[in-house]
């Protein structure tokens, strides 16, 4: 199932079925914005335990894309909004 959220010129496309729950995206986000690796402080969340059912962004998300290149499974993709 594909989901998207967009801001002006960028959008992040989600594929939760590809997410392994490794939390690399959460760590990258918290490091960029909080200066420390703490998934609880990330501007994105992974919903689900054994099976990821949803990937969400908080209202504070700037669509910077820091979470995208650290996702080695293709669960997130940054695209230019049309």
Give the pTM: 0.82
How far is 24 from 9, CA to CA, in rounded Å?
24
Per DSSP (E only), the strands in 15-81 are 44-47, 54-57, 76-80
Give pLDDT, residue 29. 96
Domain boundaries, the chain: 3-80
pLDDT mean values, one per 10 residues, the chain (82 residues):
57 90 95 96 89 87 92 90 68
Which class for 15: exposed (0-12), middle (13-18), buried (19 or more C-beta within 10 A)? Answer: middle
Is residue 55 within 8 Å of residue 46, measured between CB atoms?
yes
Supply φ then ψ for residue 28, to 5 degrees.
-65, -40
For domain 3-80, the CATH architecture is 2-Layer Sandwich (3.30)
């Amino acid at each position: 199932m594909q989901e998207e959220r967009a801001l002006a010129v960028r959008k992040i496309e989600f594929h939760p079925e590809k997410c392994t729950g490794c939390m690399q995206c959460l760590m990258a986000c918290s490091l960029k914005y909080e200066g420390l690796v703490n998934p609880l402080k990330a501007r994105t969340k992974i919903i689900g335990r054994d099976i990821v059912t949803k990937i969400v962004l908080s209202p504070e998300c700037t669509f910077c894309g820091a979470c995208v290149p650290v996702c080695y499974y293709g669960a997130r993709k940054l695209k230019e909004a049309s």
